Amino acid sequence: MDRVRRRPSDLTDAEWEIIEPMLPSPQWMGQTRKYTRRAVIDAILYVVRTGGAWRYLPDDFPPWQTCTRTSRA
């Protein structure tokens, strides 16, 4: 699943292979995911790395509300 890294804070494929098994499995009865877990993790890492505010998250990330809700879980 090679993809283009847009920012230095984005996970590499090798990093994602390490982190993905540590994430909880999606719930089969839950709502269908609109954004990939990797995109949400990249958004979280972007905010942590840049020290920016959630509301200033660039448009190519999932909405900030989705990322903050996920990061508190």
Between residues 71 and 45, which one has the greater pLDDT? Answer: 45
Q: Alpha-carbon dihedral of residues 70, 20, 49, 9, nearest 10 degrees?
A: -130
Does residue 8 lie in a domain region? no
With bands split at pLDDT 50, 70 and 90, how would you rate the model's confidence at 1? Answer: very low
Considering the entire predicted model, what is its pTM?
Answer: 0.78
Does residue 43 lie in a domain region? yes
**Count: domains in the chain:** 1
Which structural domain range is residue 44 located in?
13-72
Does residue 3 lie in a domain region? no
On whether the CB atoms of residues 40 and 60 are closer than 8 A, the answer is: no
With bands split at pLDDT 50, 70 and 90, how would you rate the model's confidence at 70? Answer: low
Check whether 3 has a pLDDT greater than 70. no
Q: Summarize pLDDT for 29-55 with one digit per residue, the tens.
A: 667 778 888 999 999 999 999 998 888
Please count the other Cβ atoms lying within 10 Å of the Cβ belonging to residue 20.
12
